[in-house]
Amino acid sequence: MSTRAGSVAGGLMAALMLARGRAEGILLAGGDRIAVIRSFWSIAVCVPVILALRLTGTAPPVAGAAPSLGRGLVHDMLVLAVGWLGFVLASHRVATLLQRTDRWPRFIVVWNWCNVLGNVLVLLGTLPGLLGAPTIIDEAAQLFSLGWALWIEWYAIRITLGVSAMGAVWLVMLDETIGLTAALLGMALGGG
């Protein structure tokens, strides 16, 4: 197995363990500079998930643009990258303020891979609606999958950075705010 494939497998395994509330999952994620760099393969791993969301019609439209799979996918990837990397930079600053700089590398490795799992959960939450389930089932599935994705992020933050429950809530809110801001800017600049 290549080192890259091993990094992907280890990162995804760590995220899956955290998704089940198993804190020892963070031990599968490295905390050195190389592990941090390799963990950004998680963005590439998310490309098929983003494509699937675009194909299912659950991704937000590109403002003022005629429907185009290629343009929509490029837009989605740019918004994803800006939001993702924006939080990476912001979390590094926050870790410094919280005097958790020594924990940040392992945190960002775990957080990157938990994002893959979170995106997969959001995609899975759309399946009941796509399969024609009643609205209440569709909305409940979407709410459950989004809630689980947010919980995984909260738990990963809490365990890896060693912050309080409320501190982890604030960091999740920061991440969501950055992502929403990137999406809104993307929609505003998307062609309209």
Residue percentage of the chain with pLDDT more than 70: 89
Question: Mean of the per-residue pLDDT values for the chain?
Answer: 88
Q: If 0-12 CB within 10 Å is exposed, 13-18 middle and 19+ buried, where does residue 132 land? A: exposed
Residue 69: what pLDDT?
66
Q: Which of 2, 19, 178, 6 is nearest to 110 (CA)?
A: 19
pLDDT digits (tens, 9 = 90+) for 103-142: 999 999 999 999 999 999 999 999 999 999 999 999 999 9
pLDDT digits (tens, 9 = 90+) for 43-76: 999 989 988 988 887 655 444 444 566 777 778 8
Averaged pLDDT, 150-169? 97
Domain ranges of the chain: 3-189
pTM of the model: 0.87
pLDDT range class, residue 185, cuts 50, 70, 90:
confident
Q: Which of 60, 59, 71, 15 is nearest to 41 (CA)?
A: 15
